[in-house]
Structure 1
């Protein structure tokens, strides 16, 4: 295929109705895979949950692998779209990390299936799995760099700090978002943020 040429099999919805159908299929896939896992989940189960005909599935996706890959990318985007606007309201760089974790905990509690889906992606689609975490860490590293430029955090923050904070957030989301969501999310975020502040906060 020559550069700039359209995809041979472009399944992008061209109408609002088509986009609604595709969205319904992705939402149904999240339920199906979240409940049954990738291997036991099925296309028929997805279409049944979505209230769509089997033919509608193949209008937008080639296979179970294809919709799973699209779902991982979609859920990663949902997290970004939920968290980013809230972080934009932060007082400073340290507060941004508190709000980031708080927002992620809120999202994980509302979408507990995300952990099973992302974890299975490691074995179903390694590239999508890796992209999810690399993109998240990249956004976090860029945010920390801006905070350092403003003097909100230490000047030597780097990629390692971004991955360390992300790792903490991932496991806090699992423990206090999926396994047990009874403890106030604000409390969890405040405790974790105290660690972040002591770790990368300005020395003064």
Structure 2
């Protein structure tokens, strides 16, 4: 009877970098993947070109990622994290939540203008890795709803359905980012954020 190979130890199967050098390599590969997928899309993108863009050997790529889908999934999660890390501090630094919404949208638009690949990558993930696509939006919405409820507790916003409000504001921001971040950079992000802020704070009802 042929003897089976022993299972890989957990440490060998886990490709999370544990050294500063490994973290730098993964960062370089993810940035290269963002450029490759942003330019060519998932299906036309290739591991060879990602490695070439990153300036690493193919073997180095496979040290950290098992496949093209694996690096794409990691990229979706990474870009989602980058958006949160860029936007949330602007919201928290504002004197109140309504001001934070305005500052957060302006920061999001600035991020999109320097990371235009974000939209193509997130949109393609709906077909390549639907669970990652869903996780991106659901995780953002859950955090958003929680933060709105906390703002209500501080008396900074009115009471309401936090889930509906979170998804509504997210939807507005996503399409504002598409229009004024990806397609058109002629208007200042501050002006766009101010117009959206007026809608959030005052609504569409006529003023009396």
Please, what TM-score do these two structures have when normalized by structure 1?
0.93
Larger radius of gyration: 2
What is residue 94 of structure 1 aligned with on the other side? Answer: 98
What is residue 43 of structure 2 aligned with on the other side? Answer: 39
- Is residue 86–residue 103 contact of structure 1 (8 Å, CA) maintained in 2? yes
Matched residues in 2 for 1:8 and 1:22: separation? 16
Residues 94-113 of structure 1: matches in 2 within 5 Å?
94-113=98-117
What is residue 175 of structure 1 aligned with on the other side? Answer: 179
User: 5+ unaligned residues in a row in structure 1: which ranges?
Assistant: none
Alpha-carbon RMSD across the aligned residues, in angstroms, is: 1.5
- Identify the match of residue 64 of structure 1 among 64, 68, 73: 68
> Matched residue pairs, number?
196
Residues 149-188 of structure 1: matches in 2 within 5 Å?
149-188=153-192
Look up the SS of the partner of 2:15 in the other structure. Answer: coil
The answer on 1:198 being equivalent to 2:202 is: yes
- Is residue 91–residue 97 contact of structure 2 (8 Å, CA) maintained in 1? no
Cα shift readout 1:78-113 (whole Å, capped 9, x = no counterpart): 001111111111111111111111111010001000
Please, what TM-score do these two structures have when normalized by structure 2?
0.91
Matched residues in 1 for 2:95 and 2:203: separation? 18
Offset of 1:6 from its aligned partner? Answer: 3.8
The answer on 1:114 being equivalent to 2:130 is: no
